[in-house]
């Protein structure tokens, strides 16, 4: 539940990209800019800082070529200049850390910490800001910042090789998306809607990146594999699987969704997005235009608390939330059959949080499966001492988890049917 700009920093190839195994020979910065000319098929003057000399000139020429290739692969042309910035590992991590520090408000970090602790996702001493910093600064190869129009890519060692080039293509696709469609500009997306948008955006870019990699010569493809193999992923092992999977899922799910629906349909997804994560995960529900059922929670102000989140969780988030407790396969099965939900989180600083989920399944059997999975989740994940309520009425399921058990009866009286 990061801030819109954090969600908008679309990092490349998150499934495998991470911090370089060591520092480069010199912490250099190479910036190649298309300022002063349209970023189209006609190269022009560029501005570069970094190693200087022939190395910079060759990088400039190669980026101009990649700009052309990205436009051809995506079948769109740049409407405005873009700036490509290549950073050594330490500089890249510092850049991302600065953005996270600026964009993640302390009150949001406190709210997320309280929620993740009562759900048993993080330990009491864990801090979300540090975890997301590790994920984004160490676990990504690049990002496009729609606020500044900058495209930032991490170098593997001190070389601008095939892997870094593939990341540039990925991020150039994000820049093209941003210039032609409004989806990256929507800062009001929450919950399931935010996941759907990210799946559309990232699945598109990942497909184009894969197309570029497939076009490489055998020699360059071998260098690409060598670059990937040299990346140290160990920092990601420290992250809770829910946080890591929540970030990775949109890439993977969007990639397969676009393949199944067809590349000629991708532009349509940016202007008429799927209705839910169910439609992303199960393309036949998209093709049937299966609409989510409307679910509403009663208006209720909890004394001393603020409503921090009030939107749809969605099939994908339920799958990810239950995954550690029941296993990935069983979690996906339990979340499948999602008909709709309403999800609300109450927060009191970093001390207390309340999670409320009102769910409706397509069938009673679907609701029974979700109820059973949440029973295991509560038993295995939720800290002892928390208040929990889990009940089912036909195809409807209600889940309440609160860090302060004293408010349990009040919550039950308000939300229980």
DSSP 364-417: HHHHHHHHHHHHHHHHHTSPTT-EEEEEEETTEEEEEEES-GGGHHHHHHHH--
Instruction: Please give the pLDDT value at position 24.
Output: 28
38 and 102, same domain (yes or no): yes
Give the Cα separation of 76 and 177 in Å (integer): 9
Least confident of 31-45, 63-77, 393-407: 31-45
Report whether pLDDT(316) > 60: yes
248 and 316, same domain (yes or no): no
230 and 338, same domain (yes or no): no
Q: Is residue 51 part of a domain?
A: yes
Residues 6+ apart with CB under 8 A from 266: 200, 204, 258
Q: Is residue 224 part of a domain?
A: yes
Q: Indicate the pLDDT class of residue 146, thresholds 50, 70 and 90.
A: confident
First CA to last CA across the chain, in angstroms? 28
Say what percent of the chain tops pLDDT 70. Answer: 86
Q: How far is CA 82 from the centre of its chain?
A: 23
Q: Is residue 294 part of a domain?
A: no
- Where are the alpha helices (H) located in 75-139, listed in sequence order? 89-103, 106-118, 128-133
Give the Cα separation of 187 and 392 in Å (integer): 35
Report whether pLDDT(242) > 80: yes
> 304 burial class (0-12, 13-18, 19+ CB within 10 angstroms)?
exposed
| pTM, full prediction | 0.86
Instruction: Please give the pLDDT value at position 90.
Output: 85
**What's the order of all strands across the beta sheet hosting 387-393?**
306-311, 338-348, 352-361, 396-402, 387-393
The first and second tokens of residue 408, run together, are 């349990």
Among residues 277, 295, 325, the one where a domain terminates is 277
Q: Is residue 296 part of a domain?
A: no
The mean pLDDT value of the chain amounts to: 85
56 and 183, same domain (yes or no): yes
Kindly report the number of other CB atoms within 10 A of residue 44's CB atom: 13
272 and 388, same domain (yes or no): no
Report whether pLDDT(95) > 90: no
Instruction: Give the domain extent around 368.
Output: 306-415
Q: Is residue 210 part of a domain?
A: yes
**Beta carbons of 359 and 328 less than 8 angstroms apart:** no
Q: Is residue 284 part of a domain?
A: no
Rounded to an integer, the average pLDDT of 311-327 is 96
Instruction: Please give the pLDDT value at position 183.
Output: 77
Give the Cα separation of 316 and 332 in Å (integer): 8
Residue pointed to by tokens 């396969």 = 329
89 and 144, same domain (yes or no): yes
Residues 6+ apart with CB under 8 A from 15: 248, 251, 252
196 and 315, same domain (yes or no): no
> Which of 231, 282, 293 has the alpha carbon at shortest distance from 256?
282
> 295 burial class (0-12, 13-18, 19+ CB within 10 angstroms)?
middle
326 and 382, same domain (yes or no): yes
Three-state secondary-structure class, residue 152? strand
> Which of 278, 272, 279, 266 has the alpha carbon at shortest distance from 204?
266
Residues 301/307/309/313 CA torsion (nearest 10 deg) = -30
Instruction: Please give the pLDDT value at position 4.
Output: 38
121 and 259, same domain (yes or no): yes
Report whether pLDDT(36) > 50: no
DSSP labels, 183-236:
GGG-TT--HHHHHHHHHHHHHHHHHHHHHHHHTS-HHHHHHHHHHHHTB--GGG
β strands within 27-77, DSSP E? 29-33
Instruction: Please give the pLDDT value at position 360.
Output: 98
Q: Is residue 59 part of a domain?
A: yes
Report whether pLDDT(14) > 50: no
Three-state secondary-structure class, residue 100? helix
pLDDT tens digit sequence for 162-182: 999 999 999 999 999 999 998
Among residues 277, 296, 322, the one where a domain terminates is 277
> Which of 394, 397, 395, 399 has the alpha carbon at shortest distance from 412?
399
336 and 193, same domain (yes or no): no
pLDDT tens digit sequence for 270-284: 999 999 999 999 999
153 and 241, same domain (yes or no): yes
**Beta carbons of 350 and 326 less than 8 angstroms apart:** no
Q: CATH code at 310?
A: 3.30.70
The first and second tokens of residue 19, run together, are 């911090």
Instruction: Please give the pLDDT value at position 6.
Output: 41
Instruction: Please give the pLDDT value at position 55.
Output: 58
92 and 182, same domain (yes or no): yes
The first and second tokens of residue 111, run together, are 């709210």
**Beta carbons of 361 and 367 less than 8 angstroms apart:** yes
Q: How far is CA 355 from the centre of its chain?
A: 21
Instruction: Please give the pLDDT value at position 393.
Output: 97
Kindly report the number of other CB atoms within 10 A of residue 338's CB atom: 29
Q: Is residue 195 part of a domain?
A: yes
Provide the domain count of the chain.
Answer: 2
């Amino acid at each position: 539940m990061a801030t819109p700009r954090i969600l908008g920093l679309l990092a490349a190839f998150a499934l495998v990209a991470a911090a370089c195994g060591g520092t480069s020979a010199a912490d250099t910065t190479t910036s190649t800019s298309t300022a002063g000319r349209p970023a189209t098929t006609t190269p022009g003057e560029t501005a570069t800082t970094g190693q200087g000399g022939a190395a910079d000139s060759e990088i400039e020429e190669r980026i101009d070529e990649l700009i052309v290739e990205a436009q051809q692969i995506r079948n769109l042309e740049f409407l405005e200049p873009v700036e490509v910035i290549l950073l050594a590992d330490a500089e890249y991590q510092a850049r991302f850390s600065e953005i996270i520090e600026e964009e993640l408000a302390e009150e949001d970090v406190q709210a997320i910490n309280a929620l993740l602790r009562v759900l048993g996702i993080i330990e009491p001493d864990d801090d979300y800001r540090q975890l997301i910093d590790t994920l984004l600064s160490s676990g990504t190869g690049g990002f496009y910042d729609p606020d500044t129009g900058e495209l930032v890519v991490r170098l593997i060692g001190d070389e601008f090789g095939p892997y870094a080039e593939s990341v540039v293509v990925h991020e150039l696709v994000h820049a093209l998306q941003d210039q032609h469609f409004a989806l990256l500009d929507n800062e009001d997306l929450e919950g399931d809607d935010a996941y759907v948008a990210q799946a559309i955006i990232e699945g598109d870019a990942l497909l184009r990146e894969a197309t570029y990699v497939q076009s490489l010569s055998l020699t360059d493809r071998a260098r690409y594999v060598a670059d990937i193999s040299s990346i140290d992923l160990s920092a990601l092992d420290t992250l809770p699987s829910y946080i890591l999977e929540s970030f990775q899922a949109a890439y993977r799910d969007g990639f397969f969704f676009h393949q199944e629906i067809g590349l000629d349909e991708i532009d349509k997804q940016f202007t008429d997005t799927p209705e839910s994560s169910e439609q992303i995960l199960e393309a036949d529900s998209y093709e049937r235009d299966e609409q989510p059922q409307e679910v509403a929670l009663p208006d209720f102000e909890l004394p001393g608390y603020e409503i921090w989140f009030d939107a749809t969780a969605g099939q994908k988030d339920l799958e990810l939330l239950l995954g550690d407790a029941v296993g990935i396969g069983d979690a996906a099965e339990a979340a499948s059959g999602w008909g709709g939900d309403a999800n609300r989180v109450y927060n009191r600083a970093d001390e207390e949080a309340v999670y409320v989920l009102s769910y409706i399944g397509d069938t009673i059997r679907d609701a029974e499966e979700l109820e059973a999975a949440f029973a295991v989740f509560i038993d295995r994940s939720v800290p002892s001492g928390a208040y929990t309520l889990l009940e089912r009425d036909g195809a409807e399921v209600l889940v309440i988890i609160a860090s302060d058990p004293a408010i349990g009866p009040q919550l039950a009286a308000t939300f229980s049917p």
